[in-house]
Amino acid sequence: MAVVFQKSRMLTDVPFSYCPGCTHGIAHRLIAEALEELRCEGRTIGIAPVGCSVFAYKFFNCDMQQVAHGRAPAAATGIKRTHPDKVVFVYQGDGDLASIGTAEIIHAAARGENVTVIFINNAIYGMTGGQMAPTTLIGQKTTTSPAGRTIAANGNPIRVCEMLATLDGPSYIARCALSDPANVMKAKKAILKGFRNQLEGKGFSLIELLSTCPTNMGLTPVAAADYVKNDMTKVFPLGVYKDIDAEQK
């Protein structure tokens, strides 16, 4: 019988522990496929953050480190600097990357660390139960902004891609959405590009993936995907924010 589809070799047999409709699973698969296609098996070190994806170390079939909240880009720097011939990727959520770890991500990007960062932005703290994130939309209700986020009380959401694209260090910065098949395929391409840049020594890349959290958004998986596509993209427009290859052309 011909095999028409199988799980990526860069994923373990451990079943994902994510909620139904959560897009972490899709993000994991895209990363695994990209690593497999680029023949990174046996030379990859991944970093799991603190947040829902804290258990990412169970799912990727490569050496993995689980690190302190927000510090993944620093740990990645330590790994890549001492193992420059290995592929290093960082997986972070919005609380991890854009709140407690802002210093680490900005400086890793500014140094142009030759690593690939996958940034999951679902505009909420998932693991801890739906609190406000640095990327929570204005008006969005969370357990710590029960009446909806306001500019007066909480300020505006942080646009990470736009901010990091102002730096000279990064080689590639893009925002994609895991909201529908077409956008998922675009995300796959962006992730491949990020890893290719690393393999070619071009330096830091970050791919932001707008993601769902049906559980804490209080939406069905389909409604959550629509929310990502219709509401989140208004605040976080999709696109490539930096690409040194395009600049050179």
Partner 1 sequence: MKKLMKGNEAIAEAAIRGGCRAFFGYPITPQNEIPEYMSHRLPEVGGVFLQAESEVSAINMVYGAAGSGARVMTSSSSPGISLKQEGISYICGAELPCVIVNMVRGGPGLGGIQPAQSDYFQAVKGGGHGDYHMLVYGPSTVQEAVDLMYDAFDKADKYRLPVMILGDGMLGQIMEAVEIPPMKDPAAFAPKPWATDGTGTGKGRRIINSLYIDPDELEKVNHRLFDVYVELAKNETAYEEYKTEDAEIVLVAYGTVARIAKSAVNLLRSNGVKAGLLRPITLFPFPSAILSALADKECIKSFTAIELSMGQMVEDVRLAVNGKKPVGFYGRTGGNVMSPEDIVKFISEKEGR
- Report in angstroms how near the CB of residue 108 gets to partner 1 at its nearest: 9
Q: Is 64 in the site for partner 1 (CB under 8 A)?
A: yes
Among the residue ranges 86-94, 191-199, 213-221, 236-244, the one whose residues contact partner 1 (CB under 8 A): 86-94
In the complex with partner 1, which residue's Cβ is closer, 24 or 71? 71
Among 44, 53, 92, 183, binds partner 1 (CB under 8 A): 44
* Shortest distance, position 57 Cβ to partner 1, whole Å: 5
Among all chains, which residue has been given the structure tokens 């373990």?
A: 12
Among residue numbers 117 through 136, which ones bind partner 1 (CB under 8 A)? none
Compute how many residues bind partner 1; rule: CB under 8 A. Answer: 35
User: Is the CB of 41 or the CB of 162 nearer to partner 1?
Assistant: 41
> 17 or 154: whose CB is closer to partner 1?
17
